[in-house]
Chains A and B, each alone.
Chain A
Amino acid sequence: MKRLESIKDLDKLRESIIEKNNCYQKTITICGGPGCHAIGSEDLRANFEREIKERGLADKIRLIFSGCHGFCEQGPLAVIRPEGILYCKLRMEDIVPIITETLVEGKIIDSLLYEDQNVGKVVYEKDVPFYRSQKRLLLEQNELVNPTIIDDYIANGGYMAFGKTLLDMKPDEVISKIKDSGLRGRGGAGFPTGIKWESCRKAKDETKYIICNCDEGDPGAYMDRSVLEGNPHLVLEGMLIGAYAIGSETGFIYVRHEYPWAWENAGIAIKQAKELGLLGENILGSGMNFDIDIARGGGAFVCGESTALVASLEGRAGEPRDKQHLHTVESGLWEKPTNLNNVETWANVPFIINNGADWYSQIGTAKSKGTKIFSLVGKVKNTGLVEVPMGMSLKEIVYDIGGGTPDGAEVKAVQTGGPSGGCIPGNLLDIPVDFDELTKAGSMMGSGGMIVMDIKTCMVDVARYFVRFLKDESCGKCLPCREGLKRMDEILTDIIEGRGTMGSIDLMEELALVMTDASLCGLGRTAPNSVLSTLKYFRDEYIAHVIDKKCPAGVCTSLITYSINEENCTGCGACKRNCPYEAIEGERRKKHRIIPELCQKCGICLDSCKFDAVEVS
C-alpha cells in the first residue's frame, strides 16, 4: 500500500477503490457477528467463496464477510445488494441455489426469507419489522464493510470526517462541535463528551493519552465488541479526531480478552492505517503524530471503571482510586491527562463531524442525543442488537422491534444498565430510553444491555444473580463493596432457600444505603441497584419467598417441587431414562411418578418431557 501524503491522496484513493468495485454486479454480505459466528457462518463464508470462484463469478460477485448485522435470532444472515434482499437461517445446502438463482438469475428464494407472524414473508431487509423502527447509524455501516479491508471503509466515505477536521477545523472548533451535538458518553454514566475533551485539552501537560474502552464486561451485552470488530476503522477515525482536538499523540484500545475477533480486527485495522499513513508520524502530511496500541483486558469487570482501567494499563491489578478530587482528564495514565471514552462514543464522532452538530442534536430527546445501541436479549423473540433514536419507549423496543416474548407471555420486567442497573416492571415500559428518565425509574442506561424477563423469571433470583456477579468482580479495595456484597449475597441466599424473614429485607435495604454512600467507586455505589429496584417494584415476590416460602416464578429450587401430571403423562419413559438420580419410577406406558426424597430438582425431566407432563410448583 502506498503511503498517503495528503488529503487529496486520500480522496484519489477513494475514487480509485470505488471505480475498481464498479465491476461487481452483486454483493452478498454474510454476517460474521458473534451470534452468527457461533453457529457456523465462517464455514458458510469459505464455501460461498469457493463456489463463487469455481463458477468463474469472482469478478462479478463480491462476497463480504462482515461484522454483526443485529438480527442474531435469525442467523446466519446474508444480505444481497444492491436490492437489499435478506436471507435468514442459512445452511450449507443453500449456498448453490443462492448463487445460481438469486445472484445470477435475480430470483427470490422464498424459503430463505424472513417470515413475520403479522406480515408474512418479507423480501427486503429494510421492510423487516425488526429493522424498520430502528435508526441504524452505526450498525448499518457494519453491513457495508469487511472489517479487515481498509478499502471498504474508505470507499464508504471513511476517514473523510478526519480529513475535514485536519483541513478546515481548529481543535477548539472540533470540541465546540462535539459539545453542541450533545453527545454523551455511551459507557454508562452519560458524561458530556465535549466537556470531557475540553478538560483534557486544557490540562497542563505536554503528554496526553486517549483511551478507547472496549472492556465490555456487562453480562448480556455485546454492542461495543460488535462495533469494534465489525467496523474498527470507524473507531480509529473517532479516536484520530479526538486526538487532534485534545492534542494527544498516543492512544490505547483496551479490549476484553474474551473478544478475540475484536482485538484481532482492531489490530489489523491499526496496521493498515499505519501503512497508509493515517496513523503514525506526519499523518496525511499534516504534521500530526498519533499512534494507537491495543491492550487486552484480563477479564475483570471493574476495569470498565476508568481509574481501574488505567491501573490495569499500568501493569497493576485493576483497582480503582477515588475520583472526587483528582480526575482522569487531569491525572490518569502514568499521571498524565487521559481522556477515556467508550467504543460507541468514539464511533459517533465521525458522524457528527460529517453531518454537523445540528443534524446530530435533532436525533433524540432534550438531554439525550443521537442513537443508542442495545443488546436486546433474554426472553424476547427477536434477540439481537438494535440501534434506536434516544427517546424511543422501552415498549416499542421490546414489542415492535423485539416481537415480545417467544411464547407471547407478558413481559414481567426489562433490566437495563447491566449489573449496576435495575429492573423496570412491565407496566412502566412507556419510559423512553433517555439517560435521565431511566435513572429516575431506578435503573440506568448503562452501556446498553437490555434483558427481557417473563413470568418464569424470579426477581429475587435475578437480584442475587447480579449481587453474586458483583461480589465476584469486586476488587476488594474498599470495605462497603467487598463486605457489603458478601453479606447481601448471604441474605438473598437465605431468602431464596426459605430461611429469610421480613427482617432480612429491612437489613438489606439498610446495607444498600451504606454501600451507595460509602463505596469508593461506581461499582460499589451502584451495586445495590438490582436489589433496590426489584424491592421497589417486586416486593410482593420477596414477601412470597419470606412469608409463604414460595417462589412464584418456579425458579428457586429450595422452594419448588417437581411432579408429573398424570393426565399428560404417556408413560414414554424419557424422564425416567434421563434422570441422573433414579428419582422417577413407573412402568412403560403407565403413569410415572417422581420420588420426592431422591429428586435433586435438576430439571432434566422437565427438558426431556415432550408432553408437558412435568410440572413445577
Chain B
Amino acid sequence: MELSMVDSIVDSHNRKTWALISILQDIQKEDGYLSQEVLRRVAERMDIPLTRLYEVATFYRSLSLIPQGKHNITICSGTACHVRGSNRILNELTRHLEIEPGGTTEDGEFTLNVVNCLGACAIGPVVVIDGKYHGKMTPSKTMDLLEKCRSKE
C-alpha cells in the first residue's frame, strides 16, 4: 500500500486514538494484512509508540500481521453452529488443507478463519467463503465448495 493512502485513512478518522482499531481495519481491508512498514507509518502519523501499535495489532483477532490467502474461508463456531456440528467441518478442513485456524495454505490459495458468531444461527452451521454465506453446511458440502473455488481459476 502507498504510504499516502495510509495517511489518508488515518486522517479520515481524525487521528483519534479511540478509532485506532477502525484505522487498522481499514488499512488491512486494502492489503489483507498489516505490514511493518504500514505500522511504522501509522505510529508516526498518530504519534503513538510502535510498541503500542504492535500490542493492539497482536491482541485483536480481526487484525493480522501475516498476508492472507487468495480465498478466505470463515467457519462460524458460535454455539448454535457448534451444536449442529461445525466442529466436524473445521476438523475436516484443517486436515484437508493442512493448516490450523488463522493459517494460510502453502500455495497461498486459502486462509482458514474461525469466527465466534455471525448471528445467522437459523442457517447454521455457516461457512463463509469470500464473503458469501453458505448455510446448513456439512463437511462434504464444504469440500465441494473448495473444489469449486479451485476449479474457477
Contact = CB atoms under 8 A, between A and B. Distances in A.
Given A73-B122, A217-B116, A375-B121, A383 B62 contact: no
A259 interface: yes
Contact of B80 (A225, A314, A451): A451
A377 interface: yes
Interface of B: 16-22, 25, 48, 52, 55-56, 59-63, 77-85, 87-88, 91-92, 95-96, 115-124, 126, 133, 135, 138-141, 143
A157 interface: no
A377 B25 CA distance: 30
Contacts of B17: 314-315
A379 B85 CA distance: 11
A378 B83 contact: yes
Listed residue (A295, A318, A384) with the most chain B CB atoms within 10 angstroms of its CB: A295
Interface of A: 34-35, 37-39, 72-73, 75, 217-222, 225-226, 252, 257-259, 293-301, 312-318, 375, 377-379, 383-384, 415, 449, 451, 453, 457, 462, 465-466, 469, 475, 578, 580, 600, 602-604, 607-608
Contacts of B120: 34-35, 37-38, 72, 222
B82 A219 contact: yes
A315 B16 CA distance: 9
B39 to A, nearest CB: 14
Contact of B139 (A38, A378, A466, A607): A607
A-B pairs, top 3 by smallest CB distance, nearest first, are A298-B60, A222-B119, A72-B122
B122 A219 contact: no
Contact of B119 (A34, A300, A318): A34
A537 B17 CA distance: 47
B131 to A, nearest CB: 10
Contact of A580 (B25, B55, B63, B143): B143
Given A300-B61, A378-B79, A295 B18 contact: yes
Given A295-B22, A604-B92, A259 B119 contact: yes
Contacts of A219: 77-80, 82, 116-117
Contacts of B61: 298-300
A384 B80 CA distance: 11
Given A34-B120, A298-B56, A299-B60, 10 more contacts: A34-B119, A73-B122, A217-B116, A219-B79, A252-B18, A295-B19, A297-B21, A315-B56, A383-B121, A465-B79
A258 B113 CA distance: 13
